[in-house]
Structure 1
Amino acid sequence: MFVLFAIQVALYHLDRPTRVPASAQQRLDRLHVCILMPVYNEDPGYLRLGLESFLQQSRRPDSVHVVDDGSTTTDYAEIRDWWLRAATRAGVTTTWQRVPNGGKRHAQARGVEAGADADVYITVDSDSYLDPRAVEEILQPFSKRRVQSVAGIVIATNNRGPARPARPQPLGHAGKATRRARREYRRAVLSWRGSQLLARTSDLWFVTSQMVDRSGQSAVGAVMVNSGPLAAYRAGLVRENLGSYLNETFMGRGVSFSDDSMLTLYAQERGLTVQQSTAIVFTAMPERWNHFGRMYLRWMRGSTIRSVWRMRYLSMARPAFWLHAMRWTQMVLTQLVTVWLLVVEPVAYDNMPPLSMLWIPFLLGWAQGLRYLGIIRTDERIRSRLLTWLMMPLAIIMAWTWLRWLRWYGIFTCARTGWGTRQNGAEVSLG
């Protein structure tokens, strides 16, 4: 386990963002860059924010194709009309389609058809908005012909949770009503503090995992999973695999989730998959524990299915195959060692777990979490970032308990291929 850990540390320290000379930049500038944005029951505020970010890019996309996948909460008429006018004024070719609900993949396919002349497709989720240099930065690695896909860095828009609940107003002589309002306010404050805790720990966990795990994979051109909020692909790769992408099945059931990892797998079969740590996107993370749990469970089910496909289809000559095998070896060894130290040793040999188990994981977590502090946000003071970094023990405990249980539950229930979120509307709103 130490050797595997040491390899991981060495790899993520080797990862560097790609920088290109002027001649290569000219070739990148000639590429037709097309953004695909599927929309389903999205919060209108987040949707408009994301669309605005496309027009504020240092390198604007050549085309943007928005596909409303049969949303049931609104038709977005006002936003659609504004966007079509704004994109036209900016010289960005665009379409806005509303289609019957068929899932995210089918919505993306409609965008691919509309942008058939693209050289690069950039996928962006409808609750995400791009840093002003995101498009320019994510194109840089495509200066190398072997690179087939590029992952951006995802950080939380709502990294400090929702706004604090408003205090109840005095209601004169209505004492009962006042007491009831106060009780509801106290419950709302407790829920708000729980949301704040979730927002900070999940942002810390998610960003650190990208800057550690995925950076290590990127160092050898073997990123396993791109993130939906921001990823870029060679257009030919997407078009040539569109049929299998839309018709993936597992154990006789159609697979609607894990779309990002499927596109990444296609890219791994053809060449290198990398991460550009200077391509930043902000996205809405869950603010409720049950929402986060359903999202993570969907990720684990998709990860299990994708692991089967990697073992079946990836060549052993690819670094991605061996990194994937190493990851599973590390996970199984971690479970075995944990059970041995916490169960077998105390019961069979009357040896209590070593005290080092109480502090070494936290020290390692804080050390790796320093990479979280490497991303500077102009909308947050460094002391707030430090406070989040100090919460690493909570993120580790969450990963060792609740998330570990969800991981194994997801592995054993991977045949359940439903999406699991947003059926009743957006679960996070900008307001």
Structure 2
Amino acid sequence: MTRDGRPRRLPSADYAAGPKLQACAALLTTAVAAWGVTHVMAALPNGGGEAAWPLAAILLWWLPLSWCERPIRARRDDQARLDALRVTVQIPVYNEDPEALRACLRSVLAQSRPVTRVRVVDDGSDLPYDDVRTEFEQEAAARGIETTWDRTPNRGKRHAQMHALAGDDGDVFVTLDSDSVLDRHAVREGLAPFADLRVQSVAGQVLVLNRADGVLARLSPLLYLPFTLGLRSATSALRQVRLNSGALAFYRAGVVRRCAGAYGSERFRGRPMQMNDDSLLTLHALLAGRTVHQPSAMVFTLAPARLSHHVRQQVRWMRGTAVRHLWWLRYLPLTGAAFWTAVAELLHLLLVVAVPVALVAGPDHRAHLGAAAVATGQAALAMNYAMALRLFTVRRSDESTRARLVLFALAPLAALWRLLVLRPLLAYAVLTCHRVGRWGTRAGVEVGLAARN
């Protein structure tokens, strides 16, 4: 609600990248990546070695390929089958800001393609949601949408999800975070790829809802880009996405039903594994068929506005991904692109560590260290701007062109944050990946929607 008691206006967005823009951007990104790699390697001892720069170029495969992704459209003769799908949206709730939860639920009920039912599970929150629940159930009844609202003891997100979906007869399950707001056409767009019977899961595109809540929230779209519209878009072009976002993802119900037992009881080093739930569901979907990203199925989510929250969120994600890499290397077939993209990520991390070590430990390192640092900085700047071009593929109702240009100009600041903050955090997260928990970052309300007009 706004200050005067009116319902908050929900944001909307559309995917604006046409084929010509994509082709030009892909060529530009390829040129920038090639220049950056050769520029850095030329500054290393002996030109970086004969094999070093081709290896580095290969590890940036995802930069140009991300521009090959396009929204997946269903053929007209498939539409009737898509319209007949029973869609269940599952929303786990734990100490969520009531205003954010209210906006989340309103966005689900306001979809241009109505859902069949919405299942909310309050996982033992410390907050009362009586008013939110009453408004939600009344509006859902008026629209003819089935609802359930259960409260359970606090056992973690996965248990909340499976509590809701056990016995559900839906054809497609939608997992939606309680701090996220759907674009009006998100469900319609997210269902389109299921016209291909080989597709088992669809990842939505994640946008930041609270961009005005300080420097960290404003930088978050840039910090998320390499994953949301970088690696995820590139692997989607191969039809082998390895990691959906918990904020919004679509799954064929059979995938979730088959993995329900393993999903709720996963353990790592003897401890129950609750983090990285989205990547485990994606893994099961990938083993069953194709997994894609639909850039036109958009969701707005709340990003951390405080440093402590941001650090804890990043460490949780990084720990989960570190564990999941072990699963990918163990279970993905060697003949699939997904296995080799996971290997490429590991090689990229090793290269990031190996180059500085080689510079410092190698003979006559002082003569090369300064030149390599300058070259790396120049290449990182160019490649971050190339990646930031993806910002212009989305038009938002709550963002002006000027605001997008300002955000684009901040790309170097995001690059510096990754280098000085996120890289050290990644090392810490990998070394402590055995520390797995339930919700991880939410002992209380961490970020909410201010009552602005």
TM-score, normalised to structure 2, is 0.84
Aligned residues of 1:208 and 1:371 also touching (Cα < 8 A)? no
Is residue 28 from structure 1 mapped to residue 92 from structure 2 by the alignment? no
Give yes or no for contact 2:157–2:438 (8 Å, CA) kept in 1: no
Aligned residue number for residue 36 of structure 2? none
Asked if 1:160 corresponds to 2:179, the answer is: no
- Among 179, 192, 200, the alignment partner of 1:148 is 200
Does 2:353 align with 1:335? yes
1:405 counterpart residue number: 424
Residue aligning to 1:170:
none
Alpha-carbon distance in 2 for matches of 1:244, 1:275: 24
Query: What is aligned with 1:122?
Result: 174
1:5 Cα deviation after fit: 4.5
1:68-93 deviation line (CA, Å, top 9, x unaligned): 00101x23111111111111110111
Which letter maps to 1:411? V
In structure 1, the residue matched to 2:239 is 221
Structure 2 residue aligned with 1:246: 264
Give 2:99's aligned residue: 45
The structural deviation recorded for 1:352 is 3.2
Cα distance in 2 for residues equivalent to 1:351 and 1:265: 43
Task: Work out the CA distance in 2 between the residues paired with 1:80 and 1:327.
Answer: 43
Distance in 2 between residues matched to 1:200 and 1:227, nearest whole Å: 20
8 Å CA contact 2:107, 2:184 repeated in 1: yes
Q: Against the structure 1 CA distance between its residues 208 and 251, is the aligned structure 2 distance closer, same or farther, given a 3 Å change threshold?
A: closer
User: Which of 52, 73, 76 matches 2:129?
Assistant: 76
Give the drift of 1:422: 4.6
Query: Which of 263, 267, 271 is equivalent to 2:285?
Result: 267
* Secondary structure at the counterpart of residue 223 of structure 1: coil
Aligned to 1:184: none
- 1:420 deviates by 6.3
The answer to whether the 8 Å contact 1:294/1:420 transfers is: no
Shift of 1:141: 0.7
Q: Deviations over 1:373-396 (max 9, x none)?
A: 221111111111111111111111
In 2 relative to 1, CA 141–397 (structure 1 residues): closer, same or farther, beyond 3 Å? Answer: same
Instruction: Indicate yes or no: 2:313 matched with 1:313.
Output: no
The aligned amino acid for 2:370 is: P
Following TM superposition, by how much is the alpha carbon of 1:421 offset from its aligned partner in structure 2, in angstroms? Answer: 4.2
Paired position in structure 1 for 2:369 = 352
1:47-196 to 2 correspondence within 5 Å? 47-72=101-126, 74-113=127-166, 116-161=168-213, 196=214
**Alignment equivalent of 1:211, drawn from 220, 223, 229:** 229
Cα deviation for residue 104 of structure 1 reads 0.3
- Which letter does structure 1 place at the counterpart of 2:196? K
1:420–1:53: structure 2 CA closer, same or farther, 3 Å change rule? closer
Equivalent position amino acid for 1:22 in 2: R
Report how far residue 345 of structure 1 moved: 5.3
The 2-side partners of 1:422 and 1:407 are apart by 17
Matched, 1:367 2:374: no
Q: Please, what is the CA RMSD of the aligned residues?
A: 1.5
Deviation of residue 3 (structure 1)?
A: 2.6
Retained in 1: the 8 A contact 2:59–2:347? no
Report the Cα distance in structure 2 between the residues aligned to 1:122 and 1:288, rounded to whole angstroms: 29
CA distance in 2, matches of 1:296, 1:423: 13
Q: Aligned residue for 2:29? A: none
The amino acid that maps onto 2:173 is Y
Distance of 2:362 and 2:408 partners within structure 1: 33
Answer whether contact 1:14 1:216 (CA < 8 A) is retained: yes
Determine whether 1:198 maps to 2:250. Answer: no
Partner of 1:166: none
Within 1, Cα distance between the matches of 2:211 and 2:181? 14
- Code of the aligned partner of 2:106: E
**Counterpart Cα distance in 1 of 2:392 and 2:361:** 39
Is 1:300 paired with 2:354?
Answer: no
The answer (yes or no) to whether the contact 1:148–1:271 under 8 Å persists in 2 is: yes
CA shift at 1:66, angstroms?
A: 0.3
CA positional deviation for 1:241 = 0.5
What is the SS of the residue equivalent to 2:396? coil
Q: Give the secondary-structure state (helix, strand or coil) at the position aligned to 1:376.
A: strand
- 8 Å contact from structure 1 (residues 149, 231) kept in 2: yes
Offset at residue 318 of structure 1 (A): 2.0
Shift of 1:346: 8.0
Deviation at 1:232, TM superposition (A): 0.4
For normalisation by structure 1, the TM-score amounts to: 0.88
**What are structure 2's unaligned runs of at least 5 residues?**
1-54
Any idea what SS the aligned residue of 1:273 has?
strand
Q: SS where residue 241 of structure 1 aligns?
A: helix
User: Is structure 2 residue 436 aligned with structure 1 residue 417?
Assistant: yes
1:336-387 Cα distance to aligned partner (Å, 9 max, x none): 123334x235864533332322322101110111011221111111111111
Q: CA deviation at 1:226?
A: 0.6
Q: Which residue of 2 aligns with 1:391?
A: 410
Deviation (angstroms), 1:94: 0.8
Structure 2 counterpart of 1:148, which letter?
Q
Q: Which amino acid aligns with 1:51?
A: L
User: For the Cα contact (< 8 Å) 1:346–1:352, is it kept in 2?
Assistant: no
User: What's the CA shift for 1:154?
Assistant: 0.6
Structure 1: how far apart are the matches of 2:226 and 2:343?
Answer: 22
Q: Which runs of 5+ in 1 are unaligned?
A: 162-195
Match of 2:163, as an amino acid? R
Query: What displacement does 1:334 show?
Result: 2.0
Residue type of the alignment partner of 1:308: L
Contact 1:155 1:207 in 2 (8 A): no
Q: Distance in 2 between matches of 1:376 and 1:349?
A: 47
Check whether the contact 1:217–1:223 (CA below 8 A) recurs between aligned residues: yes
Whether the 8 Å contact between 1:208 and 1:372 is mirrored in structure 2 is: no
CA positional deviation for 1:329: 1.1
Q: Matches of 1:259 and 1:49 in 2, distance apart?
A: 24
Tell me the distance in 1 between the aligned counterparts of 2:310 and 2:438. 13
